[in-house]
Amino acid sequence: MKIVEIRTLSLGEFPNLCWVEVLTDEGITGTGETFFGPEAVASYIHETAAPYLLGADPLRIERHWKELYGFYLRFGGIGAETRGASALDNALWDIAARACGQPLYQLLGGRTRESVRAYNTCGGYGYARKPIAGTLDNRTWSNLGGRGPYEDLDAFLHRAGELAEGLLDEGFTAMKIWPFDEYAVAGDGAMISAEDLRKGCAPFEKIRSAVGDRIDVALEMHSRWMLAAAKRIARAVEEYEPMWFEDPLRIDDIDELAAFARATRIPTIASELISGKHGFRSVLEQHCFGYVMFDFGWVGGLSEARKIATMADAYHVPVAPHDCTGPINLALGVHFGVSQPNAMLQEVVRAYYSDWYPLLVTELPRLERGHLWPTEGEGLGTSLLPELWTRDDATVRVSSARHAALSS
């Protein structure tokens, strides 16, 4: 089997997403996805990755990962090269499972559980959907307009207790909110006033008053704080027993992040902003982080995610894959979650899942009573809807063994 064509797709309606399909001479197609900067990602795929992959055996996944992720200058971080290589790696895993006639989770070692527990990230229908310009606060995000019952960002800001009750009614037992973000904007994350500290804690107070401890609540901090302010927030929120503190500081300095983690009894999770096993080794060697999080479209793909999860398992650390991005990423996370022993939680945004994810793919993982079941069938068990490629707002680029990269 040989790779004969690689094509990328972005849509004006969803301008942060880039999809890639890898086509073979045996008629098997694999799909990958990544988020942010689709033009830069597509350029990397067609200018750098495609000349290497075209004509190659798609089943030599580990070899291709080594070549693409470490290409020449050995790009690091979660820049366009890593995002493009991640999307391609995920597409190759899809091909491999389809070639075997098996669901992807079978190639990952088979099921260790039937489903994976989900937590709802409380963004609304428009959250992170458009290009992110500048530093936006929660008031901006919450005014993007809702089209249904799941405008959850506005809900956690103003009706957090009601939101928690509604999630419990649907079977969710965990949720994630970020009520302190707007106060970071005001002070550049350097400090937080007593008044803003009280306002940021208010959603936690409402949740605990409404439902007690029946739901876990994670605090997302979006890497917006300096160390002293982050510690002050942690001390204030600790009494509400949050599930974790997520990305309190920029990920530039793991030692500083570890200093935060050691200053609180609540677990700290890090981070979808880290890529590669070497970055996560530095995290795990600190022996102070409660959870590991990565995004399959940013971390180096499924190949690298498996190694990171196994390494975390050796440190007795659970993993909780990220998805506030797209439906292919979510499908990957659920296949991974049912197969990896220490994958304990999978992120989902119910506003996305119920509204615009179904507009993009043939199938979604089943979401029921707060758990996710993997898509069945061969490979990922889902594909992009064919009509996406001919939409008026589609940007398509194709590289093949016969033609140079084309644009339309």
Domain ranges of the chain: 3-102+384-407, 106-373
Instruction: Mention every residue, 6+ apart, whose C-beta is less than 8 A from residue 95.
Output: 22, 24, 28, 29, 30, 58, 59, 379
d(C-alpha 334, C-alpha 130), whole Å: 25
**Does residue 317 register a pLDDT over 70?**
yes
CA distances from 341 to 67, 115, 292, 362 (A): 29, 12, 14, 28
**Does residue 15 register a pLDDT over 50?**
yes
The one-character DSSP state at 10 is E
* Four-point Cα dihedral 123, 357, 324, 309, nearest 10: 140
Question: Tokens standing for 335?
Answer: 């296949």
The H or E element spanning position 233 is helix 227-237
pTM: 0.94
Alpha-helical regions (H) of 238-320: 254-262, 276-284, 301-314
**Does residue 232 register a pLDDT over 70?**
yes
The architecture that CATH gives domain 106-373 is: Alpha-Beta Barrel (3.20)
Query: Which residues pair with residue 7 across a beta bridge?
Result: 21, 398
**Does residue 309 register a pLDDT over 80?**
yes
d(C-alpha 342, C-alpha 331), whole Å: 18
pLDDT digits (tens, 9 = 90+) for 24-70: 999 999 999 999 999 999 999 999 999 999 999 999 999 999 998 76
d(C-alpha 389, C-alpha 252), whole Å: 38
Domain 3-102+384-407 sits in CATH 2.60.40.10: no
Residue whose entry in the numeric block shows the structure tokens 């070549």: 67
Task: Specify whether the backbone of 82 is left (phi greater than 0), alpha (psi in -120 to 50) or beta.
Answer: alpha
Q: What's the pLDDT score for residue 78?
A: 80
pLDDT digits (tens, 9 = 90+) for 114-158: 999 999 999 999 888 877 665 556 666 655 555 789 999 999 999
d(C-alpha 231, C-alpha 262), whole Å: 10
